[in-house]
Amino acid sequence: MHGMDDERVNGAETQSTAMHTRQRRKLTLRGVSGKKVEADVVERGEGPVVVFLHGLVGLNEHWERVVDAVCHRARCVTLEMPLLELRGVDCSLSAVSAMTMQFLDAHIGDPAVLVGNSFGGHVALRVTHERPELVSALVLAGSSGLIERTVVKGAPVRPSREWLVEKIGELFYDKSKMNPEDVERAHKLLNERGGARAMVKLSKTARRDNMTDDLGNINQPTLLIWGREDVVTPPSAGQGFSELMPDARLYWLDDCGHAPMIEAPVPFGEAMNGFFDELEQRGVMTTKD
């Protein structure tokens, strides 16, 4: 596995809050091709490490309100990779999983709670299956890996804003929770050369990596946070994970779609804090409270 260079961003942001300090930095990961891949990392809080992994068009900022709810008792690390800028052999679920393992090895050290949404949940599962010593517990929200109804099928080479509004809107039960800035950012990325192709390729590699036969070997305590109105990874997917994983429990969110950390961050955070209480009682993690 290639090494990782830790580079502080020029004028790296350190933002004081009432209780915590937000530290932002850039890291240079190495893809399986050997090429450099720039990742953004934001850290808040102290205590046992919780690492947040986003989906195909996700950002660190999408986790902010959930981090607000749990950073009083954990060191929260959000890892943002430029997924739609990946090309060649680096543009696959397995390659992103390898870079995530690289990050955990070089930057985290201790076993971490991995929190993943959609594609990021699948990465968390793949990391846990291949390197169980890196992971103490899992929180999965709308994870692929079992049942996924893709929203990128038939994606045009240069998607229009109208197409993106429709497709990104499918991720939400309450369409008003969709941020127009996310649409603009996705429109820019997907209209750059190879951007739409990268999204389709990553989605295909995830769909081909069905983990039905692997889930029984993942013994880490797992919290499944699922929107009852998720049309991408439907409720049957959450139920399937809960039945196949030895130590999983399912937490339903009513009137919520595929991105509960955006659509329902407060109950998401409440569910995580309840899970942390359980992990503390079991001696899996010692939290600050």
Q: For residue range 108-147, list pLDDT tens digits in order.
A: 989 999 999 999 999 999 999 999 999 999 999 999 999 8
Greater model confidence, 240 or 192:
240
Greater model confidence, 284 or 194:
284
What gap in Å lies between CA 13 and CA 17, rounded to an integer? 12
What gap in Å lies between CA 173 and CA 254, rounded to an integer? 10
The model's pTM: 0.90
Tell whether the model's pLDDT for residue 289 goes beyond 60.
no
Q: Percent of the chain having pLDDT more than 70?
A: 89
What does the block give as tokens for 28? Answer: 């240079």
Asked if 79 contacts 103 with a C-beta cutoff of 8 angstroms, the reply is yes
What gap in Å lies between CA 127 and CA 231, rounded to an integer? 25
Per-domain residue ranges of the chain: 5-281
Amino acid at 238: G
Asked if 28 contacts 4 with a C-beta cutoff of 8 angstroms, the reply is yes
**Would you place residue 14 in the very low, low, confident or very high pLDDT band (cuts 50, 70, 90)?**
very low
85, 86, 91, 95 alpha-carbon torsion, rounded to 10°: -130
Q: Does domain 5-281 fall into CATH 2.60.40.10?
A: no
What gap in Å lies between CA 123 and CA 133, rounded to an integer? 15
Asked if 139 contacts 113 with a C-beta cutoff of 8 angstroms, the reply is yes
Tell whether the model's pLDDT for residue 157 goes beyond 50.
yes
Query: What integer pLDDT is reported at residue 11 of this predicted model?
Result: 36
Summary mean pLDDT of the chain: 89
Query: What integer pLDDT is reported at residue 19 of this predicted model?
Result: 44
